[in-house]
Chain A
């Protein structure tokens, strides 16, 4: 069975199979359920590390695997990774054990179903990053909705039903038009070449007219903009983030949002380069505007989770600016920033979760003076906050600096505006830190809060180490993504439309 011997296919299937295995474990044996879930995510992480060890940074698509699926439609189950997708796969595999560990004490009801949802979600997320076939990509993209919907809707906060419905319908509405566009692209290829295929590399650079590209790009861009989320399509995000359980928020921010950016880089831009050139300044402008807007909104938040959620919108706006400038430094920085944001925002949500579990409040006003009772927690939060702001020496700085330097050459005004937003992020993040950690201990009940325990250290330490490591020595990551970034920029150049095809 090549499905299980190919390392990439194994990574995609492993969590899902473990999820199915969990079904066989009796519901009341919660310890076994948790252990099995943790073991599955750790195994996946090991497999991902092995993938990284065997990955050749100089090569292009690797670990390719193809299995004929629906020959009548030219659909093959095709997987493969380049530097960018590998980076995101590593990020997913790393955040999952943390998400599982963080759920051990916070999820009390329906544990088996919860971990099954998490594991199915992991399979779908990994599948999105590994897919090289449009149909397979769409399948995983949409398949992700069901487990996430249940995670928010069953184990979420008080307004969870509203948030879950909004998340599902918003995302679904965004992606159905992408489905039509996918069908259109495949049909156009069929009309031209006479064969059916949904393979991404085969469809790249297809000679579509500029008019067709415009609408197709718009359909893809809308689907991905909802996911990123790009201002003004971001309104589902604060609701979903606030209501989701900690693990849900971590994965939403850490992985799901990356899929939007990944979609632009893997699909929307290379498939429709001519339209991408038209849309790029507008998307970059929305990104830059999003940085400022979301930072201002985050500044006024009183709820920790909401603030972090809006800071995500700001960070991803900056990433959007980076990838739409088609400039090697900016795009590399943007890809690096995807990983950075996953680490720092994932860690922020984990820390907020730790606070919430102890105090059952996410309001900034309920805290203050935590440095006295939770010194280690305060130290970790400081590092994560500084990483999120982009302090030199930590990972956030490298990404943000590269994006700003690179995009300044292409969009000087937008880069300048975004810089202002980045400064704002320091204002609200440090303000939050000061209000929760420093000052007098205003609330008596906070005196009893316990500091980080061993389990929490276990999942925070790897994240902290990586923040430092990438901050001080980003070269390996940048080297890994350099090839794919250049590919992306090359594919983004509009080709001559000499033999453009007018379809129907």
Chain B
């Protein structure tokens, strides 16, 4: 490794290290200095901003750190920048309305930063063991975060998430163990070269896929999603939808691309079809806004799985899709946050008349809904276009036909939100919280989904450059 690469690697690694340091600072420092209590959010935010400034254009090579456990490449740089940016917006939303009880210490930010640390490790993981450890580092703080309000729906969400998540982790470990029986080297690069797997290894792969499908929320591993999204603090739901899903998608892609054909491909094919169909149909019946967004998140995981079938070009589309989807999701959850009064967040009818009382807020929400639905000229359409274009190009027309028909179905539930906002009279006493940081987030995201489509070239170029390093 020459000096330049060493410099880049140490620079890049300082990001996660700083994150870890900031996490412990948030947790411990206020214990000793009473004056610092309540400032943990500011500390976390400034730490993340510093970390973001560490992101540099990566050299066009793959730097293998810690014996190949972490791979630093342009792809990792892209995904890390994405994760840290999402994290910054989540912290902004948490500053706007603290999700934890006022008397609690810095554990909220500690957990959030640790989860982010796990996520960036997962995204850069070079082998399955590292991926599993990163997955645990990501999941355990999330279980706690889901229930951090210690309210009944929050605890229920946390409990459900923990039980199902632990089950998913166990399955993943089992799969890795089975795979290790035949493949001593569990690095993704080595698995690529290993050739057609034996039945035992195949079983291992299936279990690993199931485990990560839990995190990505592919049907039938999505059962936890609506309850957890509804019960968890809204900021955490946004974090799960926007960022955590990306981690699962990256690992699934690493496994998917090992197989050119065969049963694993078919498994993914069915996962994609079932997810897209079931999630969109189930979403039709939802009345709670958070549950609606939860099912929408499941559906989008399905579209991402469809994009996998486009091969390299499809993965470029995935890397473009992730930030576009994240913007719409963070924005929509931020609107939920502004409107929520109870523990469970607003129902769709609570939005009635929002266009009259808060026209800009309603316009932004409409932009998020149309972007999620994939209506041009919003960014969501471009994301779907790129994803489906790649899949059709590699001959998966039937799969794409199912996906587009279901995205036409999805129109109905996204439109219901706009119907409530624009075409229903205002509900009596409909108020929403004071503006502030949340509005800044909402309008940044709205500008993003409106502009990132028509001006998608820069992001798309970055995504294409990053996709080459997987």
Contacts and interface: CB of A to CB of B under 8 A. Distances in A.
A358 B421 CA distance: 30
A190 interface: yes
Interface residues of B, number: 32
A72 interface: yes
Interface in A147-193: 149-150, 153-154, 160-161, 164-165, 168-169, 172-173, 176-177, 179-180, 183-184, 186-187, 190
B397 A180 contact: yes
B220 to A, nearest CB: 25
Given A153-B419, A173-B408, A183-B393, A70 B375 contact: no
Contacts of A168: 411, 415
Contacts of B199: none
A345 B17 CA distance: 69
Interface string B361-392: 00000000010000111000100011011001
B407 interface: yes
Interface string B402-446: 001101100110010011001100000000000000000000000
A139 interface: yes
A138 interface: yes
Interface stretch (B46-54, B271-279, B335-343, B456-464): B456-464
Given A73-B386, A169-B408, A172-B411, A184 B377 contact: no
B395 interface: yes
Nearest to B391: A183
B457 A69 contact: yes
Nearest to B456: A70
Contacts of A364: none
B415 to A, nearest CB: 6
Interface string A49-92: 00000000000000000000111110000000000000000000
B400 interface: yes
Helix, strand, loop or mixed for chain A's interface?
helix
Given A73-B386, A168-B415, A142 B375 contact: yes
Nearest to B377: A143
Contacts of A47: none
Contact of B404 (A135, A153, A180): A180
Interface centre among A146, A150, A153, A160, by most chain B C-beta atoms within 10 angstroms, is A146
B267 interface: no
A139 B377 contact: yes
Interface in A339-398: none
Contacts of A184: 392, 397
Given A70-B456, A139-B376, A142-B376, A187 B392 contact: yes
A108 interface: no
A504 interface: yes
A190 B394 CA distance: 11
B375 A143 contact: yes
Contacts of B422: 150, 153-154
B397 to A, nearest CB: 6
A190 B313 CA distance: 13
A145 interface: yes
Given A179-B404, A187-B392, A190-B393, A161 B419 contact: yes
Contacts of B282: none
B401 interface: yes
Interface centre among A73, A138, A164, A180, by most chain B C-beta atoms within 10 angstroms, is A180
A96 B401 CA distance: 36
B457 A160 contact: no
Nearest to A141: B376
A48 to B, nearest CB: 23
Nearest to B419: A161
B388 A179 contact: yes
A176 B375 CA distance: 10
A173 B408 CA distance: 5
A377 to B, nearest CB: 32
B400 A164 contact: no
B100 to A, nearest CB: 39
A145 B393 CA distance: 27
Contact of A161 (B393, B397, B412, B423): B423
Interface in A115-151: 135, 138-140, 142-143, 145-146, 149-150
Given A70-B457, A73-B389, A161-B423, A169 B401 contact: no
Contacts of B377: 139, 143
A139 B381 CA distance: 9
A451 B252 CA distance: 71
Contact of B415 (A154, A165, A504): A165
Contacts of A165: 412, 415, 419
A161 B389 CA distance: 33
A425 B63 CA distance: 76
A196 B393 CA distance: 11
Nearest to B416: A165
Interface centre among B370, B388, B397, B456, by most chain A C-beta atoms within 10 angstroms, is B397
Given A173-B405, A190-B393, A183 B370 contact: no
Contacts of A140: 376
B376 A138 contact: yes
B94 to A, nearest CB: 31
Contact of A183 (B376, B388, B412, B418): B388
Contact of A172 (B386, B392, B401, B408): B408
B395 to A, nearest CB: 4
Contacts of B376: 138-140, 142-143
Contacts of B400: 180, 183
Contacts of A113: 359
A72 B460 contact: yes
A190 B389 CA distance: 12
Contacts of A135: 385
A183 B389 contact: yes
A253 B464 CA distance: 43
Interface centre among A146, A150, A179, by most chain B C-beta atoms within 10 angstroms, is A179
Given A72-B464, A73-B386, A180 B419 contact: no
Interface string B267-296: 000000000000000000000000000000
A183 B317 CA distance: 14
Contacts of B412: 165, 169
Given A176-B407, A180-B388, 17 more contacts: A70-B457, A72-B464, A113-B359, A140-B376, A142-B376, A143-B375, A153-B418, A153-B419, A153-B422, A153-B423, A154-B422, A161-B423, A165-B412, A169-B412, A180-B404, A183-B400, A187-B393
21 contacts: A70-B457, A73-B386, A138-B376, A142-B381, A143-B375, A143-B376, A149-B415, A150-B422, A154-B423, A161-B419, A165-B412, A169-B415, A176-B404, A177-B401, A180-B388, A180-B392, A180-B397, A183-B392, A186-B393, A187-B392, A504-B395
Q: Rank and list the top 6 A-B pairs by shortest CB-CB distance, nearest first.
A: A176-B404, A504-B395, A183-B392, A187-B393, A173-B408, A139-B376
